[in-house]
Amino acid sequence: MDAEADRALRQLLRHTTVAALATLHQGEPAVSMVPYALLPDGRFVIHVSRLATHTQDMLAHTQVSLLVTAPVDVADTPLALPRVSVQGLASVCPPEAADHAAARAAYLARRPEAEELFGFGDFSLFLITPLSLRYVAGFGRAYAVTAGQYAALLRETG
């Protein structure tokens, strides 16, 4: 990717707050919507209810995918929308985990209205560690991004 694509991907991930989450549900693909935040190392933070099927799906099958898209008004056609598909591994981040305080702070910085949900016993933080990404910057501009390239991209400023 070139510097402009790098900058646009960072902006897309840092400024979009909702993703489509794909899980495996009873042997079938299932998609739901989740608000997310990012840790500085690029892991996605989601806060989900144990009552939601996608939470049970992540506990049973840690391989997940996220799709983050730019708002529809940034392109002339939906097919030209910048978007990134993230293949990753989901893991519970319990309160005693070393990353819990940072994950909670990152999530609440983005979604302060979610504070009360942290008091609900059925809600848990999950971290999604990206393994690979497919970034589509527009027509004819698609990039495969490894986990290492992604980590380096996030360390850059801009």
| Overall average pLDDT of the 16-25 stretch | 96
- DSSP for 21-58, written as a single string: EEEEETTEEEEEEEE-EE-TTS-EEEEEETTSHHHHHH
Report the pLDDT value the prediction gives residue 157, as an integer from 0 to 100: 61
Report the pLDDT value the prediction gives residue 12, as an integer from 0 to 100: 95
Residue with tokens 């989901």: 90
SS3 category, 137: strand
Fold entry, domain 3-154? Pnp Oxidase; Chain A (2.30.110)
| Overall average pLDDT of the 17-39 stretch | 96
| Overall average pLDDT of the 31-59 stretch | 95
Report the pLDDT value the prediction gives residue 78, as an integer from 0 to 100: 82
Report the pLDDT value the prediction gives residue 158, as an integer from 0 to 100: 46
Pairwise CA distance, residues 111 & 143, whole Å: 30
In tens, the pLDDT along 126-157 reads: 999 999 999 999 888 899 999 999 998 888 76
Does the pLDDT value for residue 7 go beyond 80? Answer: yes
In tens, the pLDDT along 54-111 reads: 999 999 999 999 999 998 887 788 888 899 999 999 999 999 999 999 999 999 999 9
- DSSP for 77-102, written as a single string: SGGG--EEEEEEEEEEE-TTSTTHHH
